[in-house]
Amino acid sequence: MTTKQLTPDEDLLPLCEELIKAEITTIKDLPRELANTLANEYYRFLVLAVPHIKHPLAGRITLSMIKEYLLNEKPDLGVVDIESKSAIESELVRSLAAVEAIAEFIGVLRGIDINKDPIQYRSTVDLITDHLKYDIPDTGGKLHLKRLFERAAKKPHKQAKEQIPDLIDHIDI
C-alpha cells in the first residue's frame, strides 16, 4: 500500500514561519525530529484555523491574535465540550491546545542544560515528541519504556497524526 506524500501549501509556509517566530523564536536549536514535529503542529493549526479567519493574517501574527479572531468568528469554540463539536471544530480545538502547550514544553526543554544533563534533555525531547507526534495518551504518566512500545506500535501503521516529512526544510526558522 502506498501512501500519498503530503506537501505543504506554499501560502501557509510564511504564516507558519511567522507564528513559530512569534511563539518560540526558532526551532533550529532543537533535534530534527522534534523540530519537524513542532513545525507540523503549527502548520496543522493554521490549515484548520485560516479558513475561519476573515481578516488577512500578515505581518506579526501571534497565537493570541489568531485565537481572538477564531473566538470572534466562532464564540462557542472556547467551550470545552469537544465531543459536541463538528469533527473539524474538534480538530481545531485540539490543534489549538497543542500549539498553546508547545511554548511551555519548549520553555522547559530550553531550561535544561544539554551539556550538564543530556539524559534529562533527551528524555524531555522524547516526552514532547511522544505527546505531539505519536499522540500517546497520558505521556507524562508513563515510563519511557512503555512509551517506546506504544511508539513502535504506531510506526508501522498510520501515525496518529499525519505529518509532512521534512517540513522544516521548507521554512526558515
Give the pLDDT of residue 38.
97
Instruction: Tell me, yes or no, whether 147 lies in a domain.
Output: yes
**DSSP letters for 93-158:** HHHHHHHHHHHHHHHHHHTS-TTT-HHHHHHHHHHHHHHHTS--TTGGGS-HHHHHHHHHHHSSS-
Instruction: Tell me, yes or no, whether 141 lies in a domain.
Output: yes
Please give the residue range of the domain that contains residue 136.
13-166
Task: List, for residues 108-167, the tens digit of each pLDDT value.
Answer: 999 999 999 999 999 999 999 999 998 888 888 888 888 888 888 876 555 557 889 999
- The three cell numbers of residue 39 are 513545525
Read off the pLDDT band of 3 (50, 70, 90).
Answer: very low
Quote the CA–CA distance of 35 and 26 in Å, as a whole number: 9
What sign has the CA pseudo-torsion 94, 49, 170, 61? negative
Quote the CA–CA distance of 54 and 66 in Å, as a whole number: 11
**Structure pTM?**
0.86
Element (H, E) at 162: none
* Residue 1 pLDDT exceeds 70: no
Quote the CA–CA distance of 117 and 112 in Å, as a whole number: 7
Instruction: Tell me, yes or no, whether 171 lies in a domain.
Output: no
Instruction: Tell me, yes or no, whether 172 lies in a domain.
Output: no
**Residue with more model confidence, 62 or 107:** 107
How many domains does the structure of the chain reveal? 1
Give the pLDDT of residue 85.
56
Read off the pLDDT band of 51 (50, 70, 90).
Answer: confident
Task: List, for residues 71-114, the tens digit of each pLDDT value.
Answer: 887 777 665 555 555 666 788 888 999 999 999 999 999 999 99
Give the pLDDT of residue 31.
97
Instruction: Tell me, yes or no, whether 117 lies in a domain.
Output: yes
Instruction: Tell me, yes or no, whether 161 lies in a domain.
Output: yes
Instruction: Tell me, yes or no, whether 5 lies in a domain.
Output: no
Instruction: Tell me, yes or no, whether 67 lies in a domain.
Output: yes
